[in-house]
Amino acid sequence: MKGLALLLALLLFIPVPGSVEKSGYDGIDDAAHFKYYQNESHIIHWYEWWYANLKDGKNGVVVMFFTFGNLNKIAQRVVGVFAVFLDENESVESLFFNPFAPFHLDYEKCNVSIGENRFYEEGGKFFVEYAGKNLYIHMEMDGGGMPYGSIASLEEWQWAGWYVALPYGEGEAIIKCNGKEYKLHGKAYHDHNWGMRKMGKFNWDWGEFGEENYSIIYGIAGHEEMKGGVHFINESTHVFVPYGKIKEEYLEWNRISGFKKPVKIHVYGNDANMSVDFYVEMERAYILGYGKMGKPYLLGRAYGYVETGGIKRNFDTIGFYEHHGRFE
């Protein structure tokens, strides 16, 4: 089980941004998408997951409900839940993976059941219910920010969908692990990813940093050609500056659990709609896997400014960020 958890830690958490470029089904939302593509020839490379995190000071929760492969054939699919509780001293990971476990994906709204575990939306709130052998999570997340999404063509037949259902918000969680109970309250984030592509073939950077009433999210991905950019979101607005007009400079590096990771990044640029200039500095690296062997998952501090509509906002906040592929 720990070996499989390590493998998933190495593969998961792969948001891929971009602009809307792919024709076809355009219902970019939080519902499932598999059935719209189930007859395509590359369906074995299908992926779809629902991701959420909650940050309370130096404690946090990360949950992902995931599906891979041809979901219609038991020998060609991987379906499960990966959950982790992060505190100041350690990360407690839990994986639910049973090839014969029942699962349900709702194609009308966010409503995913895998075994007895659920990720769903009700009355404008999002709920996660997870009960693993070593970790119990009940999490509620309330909305903040204007949801947005995109579908991007990548290379050859590969493409990626990304929908940010909760750019920022408040969340509460009850955690039970190691015979203790924890109650968390803090900033929450939720997004949804799907598409078809070969794993490990793309580089990406991603980070989400929510303030009280707006969020800064960046995402840059690709192989030879990079796509994505920086997003500003509040209750009524989504402003996007694409890669090419945004520069990303890696100022400092460190080797963490065998992986070279940026511990300080400078992101800046502008177009007619928005100007941004901010830094991301690593606060803590959690190792998701086994002991000190696994994939680093980074908690960072972002500080700087964003200017939209003639309004300049200075921010200094925490959030998760990721870097995979380039220069590792």
Query: Does the pLDDT at position 69 exceed 50?
Result: yes
Residue-wise pLDDT for 18-49, tens only, equals 433 333 445 689 999 999 999 999 999 999 99
Task: Give burial (CB, 10 Å; 0-12/13-18/19+) of 268.
Answer: middle
DSSP secondary structure code for residue 13 in this structure: -
- Percent share of the chain, pLDDT over 90: 72
The mean-pLDDT minimum among 8-17, 35-44, 128-137, 230-239 falls in 8-17
Q: How confident is the model at residue 120 (pLDDT cuts 50, 70, 90)?
A: very high
Which of 199, 244, 209, 238 has its CA nearest to residue 226? 244
Query: Does the pLDDT at position 136 exceed 80?
Result: yes
Q: Which residues, 6+ apart, have CB-to-CB distance to 259 below 8 Å?
A: 295, 296, 328
> What is the reported pLDDT for 7?
42
pTM of the model: 0.91
Question: Cβ distance 199 to 173 under 8 Å?
Answer: no
Right CATH number for 2-324 from 1.50.10.10, 3.30.450.40, 3.20.20.70, 2.40.370.10? Answer: 2.40.370.10
Question: Cβ distance 305 to 313 under 8 Å?
Answer: yes
> What is the reported pLDDT for 50?
98
> What is the reported pLDDT for 186?
95
Average pLDDT, integer, range 87-105: 90
> What is the reported pLDDT for 57?
81
Which of 67, 129, 128 has its CA nearest to residue 101? 67
Task: Give burial (CB, 10 Å; 0-12/13-18/19+) of 200.
Answer: exposed
> What is the reported pLDDT for 11?
46
Average pLDDT, integer, range 7-27: 43
CA pair distance 237, 218, nearest whole angstrom:
16
Average pLDDT score, the chain: 88
Q: How confident is the model at residue 326 (pLDDT cuts 50, 70, 90)?
A: low
Question: Cβ distance 153 to 21 under 8 Å?
Answer: yes
Query: Does the pLDDT at position 14 exceed 80?
Result: no
> What is the reported pLDDT for 122?
96
Strands 274-290 and 77-86: unpaired
Average pLDDT, integer, range 239-267: 94
Query: Does the pLDDT at position 292 exceed 80?
Result: no
Q: How confident is the model at residue 263 (pLDDT cuts 50, 70, 90)?
A: very high
Residue-wise pLDDT for 179-236, tens only, equals 999 999 999 999 999 999 887 667 889 999 999 899 999 988 777 777 789 999 999 9
